Amino acid sequence: MLATPLARRNALFALFFLPGITMSSWVTRTPDVRDLVEASTAQMGLILFGLSVGSMIGILAAGPLLARLGARTLILAGTSSIAVGAVVVGVGAGLGSGVVVAIGLGMFGLGMGGGEIALNVEGAQVERLLGRSTMPAMHGFFSLGTVVGGICGMVLTAIGFPVLAHQVIVGIIVLAVLALAIRPVPAKGGRRAPADPAGAADVPRAPVWRDSRLLLIGAIILALAMAEGTANDWLPLVMVDGHGFDPALGSGVYVVFAAAMTAGRFVGGWFVDRVGRAVVLCASALAGGAGLALVIFVDNQAVAASAAILWGLGASLGFPVALSAAADSGEDSAARVTLAAIVGYIAFLVGPPTLGFLGEAYGLRPALIVVLVLVLAAALVTPAARARPAPEPEPEPERERV
């Protein structure tokens, strides 16, 4: 018996929550992990490159695997890889091995890259079935996961709880919830039916990558994903090294950022339904740019911590709203969501090592200027996310008079 759209939506809420809690459980411990493996800023950039490489491999493999296996199988495999990757990160930290940490992050990224494509394709399908904007709320549960994991990580950092034990507990929780939440997801969702030989004479569709509007939407995703991913990778260290916070308070600022992301995503659907995707994305880019500018240029701890709210609100809606725009930009929505996400995930590939090397040379705060420029440029191309006008019905042919 097929699950209802509401049951599928609720399952996706839980499935989006799991990568969020795992991500923040790693991010809040990055100062501890850096100290345990005795890594410099540039070396941390290389360790984080494992996450980027894993993400891109998962993203590039997601399209063919989704068409062949379906969303449910890919979500199951991806989320399992995230859980195991978290455990391996903990083992690497316990051993003082940056290489093992990078391998664990690679497994984490592999699961995130492939699993999130499947989650977003399934989410776009459920959104169309429900007839209202629900992708922001789905991503809101990812952000809610980052808040819950971030609060736990901040407390465990403050009391000196071992990184290995922390990551093992998180991995076990993720696998247990996954086993329950995956059931309503249809097995064949996202799977592409084999070509019908009888339709061989049909006019072939142009590849989606030739659609300039879709590529502009991908550019918006790239910039705002860069803003989100930079905070996920570097925000605690920016606060510790760039603004003089202690590690526990640096993790606390990340929790503030994650809470702002969560709030933005849970209320974002209301705004999208009323003012449209383009307006929401433009406002998001400007708010995110303002938050980044304050963190970069104002040397004040209170201002930096408050700016994390603007940064989080600005980054909150970029990924989900632009993915919805990609899904509605033409035929073959699964391929369009996949391509837009691939373009966006380039941010996760080039972002961590680039900011690591720039941070080593100039400091982490000046390195963020690269992200600021991308976010402000994205505001200029947000009109590409406007809803396509509904095609006008063709006039009925006049009946011949007898």
pLDDT tens for 9-42 read 999 999 999 999 998 898 888 889 998 999 887 8
Do 277 and 225 meet the contact criterion of CB atoms below 8 Å apart? no
323/125 Cα distance (integer angstroms): 12
**Number of CB atoms found within 10 A of residue 335's CB:** 21
- Whether the model clears a pTM of 0.85, i.e. scores above it, the answer is no
Hey, what CATH class is 5-189+211-385 in? mainly alpha
b/e string for 264-276 if b means 16 or more Cβ within 10 A?
A: bbbbbbebbeeeb
pLDDT tens for 243-268 read 999 888 888 898 889 889 889 999 98
Which pLDDT score is estimated for 17?
95
Residue 114 confidence (pLDDT) above 80: yes
Instruction: Grade residue 388 by pLDDT with cuts at 50, 70 and 90.
Output: low
189/47 Cα distance (integer angstroms): 35
What are the φ and ψ backbone dihedral angles of 87, each rounded to 5 degrees?
A: -65, -40
Which pLDDT score is estimated for 199?
47
Between residues 361 and 388, which one has the greater pLDDT? 361
Between residues 159 and 201, which one has the greater pLDDT? 159
Q: What is the distance, to the nearest Å, from the Cα of residue 91 to the centroid of all Cα atoms in its chain?
A: 25
Q: Please state the domain extents for the chain.
A: 5-189+211-385
Quote the mean pLDDT of the chain: 85
Pure H helices in 187-276: 212-237, 243, 247-275
Which pLDDT score is estimated for 396?
52
pLDDT tens for 183-225 read 999 877 666 655 444 444 444 566 776 777 888 888 898 898 8
The pair of three-digit structure tokens given for residue 381, joined into one six-digit string:
């191309």
